[in-house]
Amino acid sequence: MTPFLAGGIPTLRPVMDEAWRAARRFPFVLVVGVLATGAAIIMVEPGGERDLIERVLVAATLGLPLFIALKVAGEQSRHRGRAELLLTALGLATLTALAARWTRWSEPVQLGRYVQLSVAFHLLVAVAPVRRGSERAAFWQYNSRLFERFLLTTLYSVVLFAGLALALLALDKLFDVDLPRAAYARLWCVIAFVFHTWFFVAGVPRDVGALAGARQYPRGLKAFTQYVLIPLVALYLVLLTAYLAKVLVTWEWPSGWIGWLVSSVAVVGTLALLLVHPVASEAGDRWVTTYARGFYLALLPAIVMLWLAIWQRVGQYGVTERRYFLIVLSVWLTLIAVQQLVTRSRDIRVIPASLAAVALLTVAGPWGAYRVSERSQVGRLARLLERHGALVEGRARPTVVDVPADDRREISAALRYLADTHGFAAIAPWFGGRDALALVDTLGRAGGPSRVYGGAERARLVAVWLGVPYVPGAGGARYQWFAYRADPFDGTLPVSEFDSLVFVEAGGGPALGTGLVARAGYGGRLVEVLQDGEPVATIPLDSLLAALRLETAEPPQADPWPASRLRIDREAGDRRYTLLIREMSGSWQEDSIDLRSFTGVLLVGRR
């Protein structure tokens, strides 16, 4: 059917038919696209209950590639209907379990698992339809069409958003239509999760086997890969091999960042190998053929250096999630390189399929990245504390010896890692179920009694209890939260000696029956007093905070202070002021003070 009528007027009938066919083929993909749109629009708005919406958004965005992969895989089964039903149920169960457990993880764990699952599900889309040996030739053509469709879909989405955004702007400027600030963000959510998804799935090949005889290969892609990507990879492989030679000659350990460089070169080089696969055996492309045959052989020295770097870092600092992934990637690269060199296999499907399996296998379980890393850091911390008598027979106690600077730094880093990533559940038995440790861990959770207790502050509190001076991490040196509050049952307000009473908080508040106002601004270090809008006095907080900081090397975080210690008396002009601080919190960084919250009472009288 032609998209134009006899008079040359375009008709949307073919477009609607294609959209309907895509909707019938991928119903669950479009459903999760709509869910992702709704959740993203709600997340754009400030306030409200966000935990449930965040879980919906996470599950829906991961469901987009997952349900595409499951649908395409089900279509290749001999028992298509039954297979599709079973795979869809499996996908729903997976996303439901993920959403149910999402809020139990810390932000680093959430991010890590989301990235892992996203990579795995997108790789499943690439390998889902190709199973039998006779379909090897179709694998590259199928993924080539997916890649081209994705680029085209992204281009259409960007152009559509730009056009509609300009239309909204015209309504605002030309017709004075009052549009909410979030209108553009909402528009992007609809285009990104509904239009982009719908247009993309409409182009997913249905008959994968028919692509086996296709010989389509974009000339631009060949030129880019052959004359830009491959030479760059070859250059970096030469540099890495030369660096390995330097390491062997000087016997100096590889630099810490070498692992990420080797990983990047391996990933980019493998991508280049996949891109040139159809022309790697053609007689007229010797340079490409040489690269395809020698890439993994040239990569072996870099893999050896990667192992050396990992061995050094893990031996010094234990396993973390990042080092775990480097270890897994190095093992995977070694096995792939050996497999390709020994078998000289032309089947490139093993690369994305095995990488997807690795991502799925390491996302959870006692062998997964997060449990292995936690056990490694707990063991490392235990050895350090036992060395200085702070952990004896599985029980923690304050050390009585001077801990060396290097060990203080390592103990602080291990505590900070646990506080940020996993919490203190794994080391709680050391403290015999101490309420103090449970309180410290609870205060650091979002929505707890105080949001000023970050991971570094909780780590500092535990280190102080152990008698180990806390050493801040890189980038957070000398950065320290404080929180003071007065004992509400300590003394009474001497209101009879004053004329006016003003409630003071961040942002300010009026006096009762007067034109007097006192305010403490966010980020400020003083309370400003105004009479009928004119400043009449300032009450600095620096001296009191400095005194409190010197009085205790580690500022208190939970215990109330005597009201007399959180009192400032000041005279200005013919008036005297008494500031009674009820609560204040903020941070110190070197010699600067950043006040974040403040409540109190200001009493004003005549001199």
Across 11-25, 50-64, 353-367, 495-509, least confident range: 495-509
Q: Average the pLDDT over each of 152-166, 271-285, 360-374 and give the range with the smallest value.
A: 271-285
Torsion angles phi and psi, residue 305, rounded to 5:
-65, -35
Residues 250 and 289 in one domain: yes
Is 175 found in the same domain as 124? yes
* Contact assessment for residue 424 and residue 457, using Cβ atoms and an 8 Å cutoff: no
> Sorting pLDDT into bands at 50, 70 and 90, what band is 48?
low
User: For residue 378, is it within any domain?
Assistant: no
* Cα–Cα distance measured from residue 530 to residue 169, given in angstroms and rounded to the nearest whole number: 42
* Mean pLDDT of the region 375-404: 92
Q: What pLDDT score does 387 carry?
A: 94
Phi then psi dihedrals of residue 481, to 5 deg: -80, 150
Residues 473 and 526 in one domain: no
The DSSP code sequence of 225-252 is: IIIIIHHHHHHHHHHHHHHHHHHHHHT-
**Domain presence at residue 373:** no
If pLDDT is split at 50, 70 and 90, which confidence band does 296 have?
confident
Point out the domain boundary residue: 443, 477, 511.
477
Residue 603: which of 525, 511, 524 has the closest Cα? 511
pLDDT of residue 357 exceeding 60, the answer is yes
| Residue range of the domain that includes 450 | 386-477
The pLDDT of residue 571: 85
Distance CA 430, CA 384 (A): 14
Confidence of residue 405 (pLDDT cuts 50, 70, 90): confident
The rounded percent of the chain whose pLDDT value lies above 90 is: 34
Mark whether 518 and 565 lie in a shared domain: yes
Same domain membership, residue 470 and residue 515: no
Q: How confident is the model at residue 312 (pLDDT cuts 50, 70, 90)?
A: confident
Looking at the structure, tell me whether residues 400 and 334 fall in a common domain: no
- Does the residue 419 lie in any domain? yes
427 with 444: CB under 8 angstroms? no
User: Do 580 and 600 touch, CB atoms closer than 8 A?
Assistant: yes
Q: What does the angle CA 180 – CA 185 – CA 190 come to, to the nearest 5 degrees?
A: 115
pLDDT of amino acid 132: 55
Return the pLDDT at 553. Answer: 45
Q: Which residues contact 254 (CB under 8 A, 6 or more apart)?
A: 243, 247, 305, 308, 309, 312
pLDDT for position 589: 62
User: d(Cα 222, Cα 288) in Å, to the nearest integer?
Assistant: 10
Handedness of CA 343, 347, 352, 356 (dihedral sign): negative
Mean pLDDT of 1-24: 72
pLDDT in tens, 443-460: 444 333 333 456 777 788
Sequence-distant (≥ 6) Cβ neighbours of residue 604 within 8 angstroms = 498, 499, 500, 501, 502, 511, 516, 529, 575, 576, 577
> Using only C-alpha atoms, what is the Rg of the chain?
32
What pLDDT digit, counting tens, does each position of 230-239 carry?
A: 888 888 888 8
What is the pLDDT at residue 207? 84
Task: Convert the pLDDT of each residue in 200-227 to its tens digit.
Answer: 999 999 888 778 777 777 777 777 887 8
- The set of residues, in sequence order, having a beta carbon less than 8 Å from that of 308 and lying 6+ positions away, is 247, 253, 254
Least confident of 48-62, 205-219, 483-497: 483-497
Is the separation of the CB atoms in 527 and 504 below 8 Å?
Answer: yes
pLDDT of 328 higher than 80:
yes
Tally of structural domains, the chain: 4
d(CA 528, CA 539): 6
* Cα(125)–Cα(267) distance, integer angstroms: 19
**Binning pLDDT at 50, 70 and 90, where does residue 461 land?**
confident
Indicate whether 6 pLDDT > 70. Answer: no
136: pLDDT confidence band, cut at 50, 70 and 90? low
The 3-class SS string of 470-526 reads: CCCCCCCCCEEEEEEEECCCCCCCCHHHCCEEEEEEECCEEECCCCEEEEECCCCCE
Residue 574, domain member (yes or no) = yes
Mean pLDDT of the chain: 82
Crossing angle of helices 13-25 and 27-44, rounded to 10°: 100
pLDDT digits (tens, 9 = 90+) for 549-597: 666 545 444 567 888 888 888 888 788 888 888 888 877 665 566 777 7
Q: Which are the contacts of 23, defined by CB distance < 8 A and separation ≥ 6?
A: 30, 198
Q: Do residues 59 and 193 share a domain?
A: yes
The pLDDT score that the predictor gives to residue 89 is 95
User: Could you tell me where the beta strands, DSSP code E, fall in 105-166?
Assistant: none
190 in the same domain as 117:
yes
Question: Given this model, what pLDDT does residue 384 score?
Answer: 95
Residue 173 lies in a domain: yes
Residues 188 and 294 in one domain: no
Distances (CA, A) of 71 to 37, 63, 89, 141, 196: 21, 12, 11, 19, 18
Looking at per-residue confidence, does 427 or 523 come out higher?
A: 427
Does pLDDT of 131 surpass 50? yes
Q: To 5 degrees, how large is the angle CA 408–CA 411–CA 414?
A: 145
Least confident residue range of 38-52, 190-204, 315-329, 465-479: 465-479
DSSP type of residue 578: E
Give the Cα separation of 504 and 264 in Å (integer): 55
Give the residue-averaged pLDDT of 331-337. Answer: 91
Angle ∠(327,472,418) on CA atoms, nearest 5: 45
pLDDT at 450: 38
Domain end marker among 177, 193, 213: 213
Specify whether 402 is located in the same domain as 358. Answer: no
Residue 393 located in a structural domain: yes
Give the per-residue pLDDT at 447.
Answer: 36
pLDDT value at position 493?
A: 66
pLDDT given at position 438: 61
- pLDDT-based confidence at residue 7 (cuts at 50, 70, 90): low
pLDDT at 122: 96
Range 490-495 average pLDDT: 67
Compute the average pLDDT of residues 105-132: 91
Residues 291 and 393 in one domain: no
Rounded Cα gap, residues 135 and 63, in angstroms? 27
Whether the predicted pLDDT of 354 surpasses 70: yes
- Say if residue 352's pLDDT is above 60: yes
Q: Looking at the structure, do residues 511 and 447 belong to the same domain, yes or no?
A: no
User: Which of 477, 503, 527 delimits the end of a domain?
Assistant: 477
Asked whether residue 456 is domain-assigned, the answer is yes
Mean pLDDT, range 426-447, rounded to an integer: 63
Is residue 170, in this structure, part of any structural domain at all?
yes
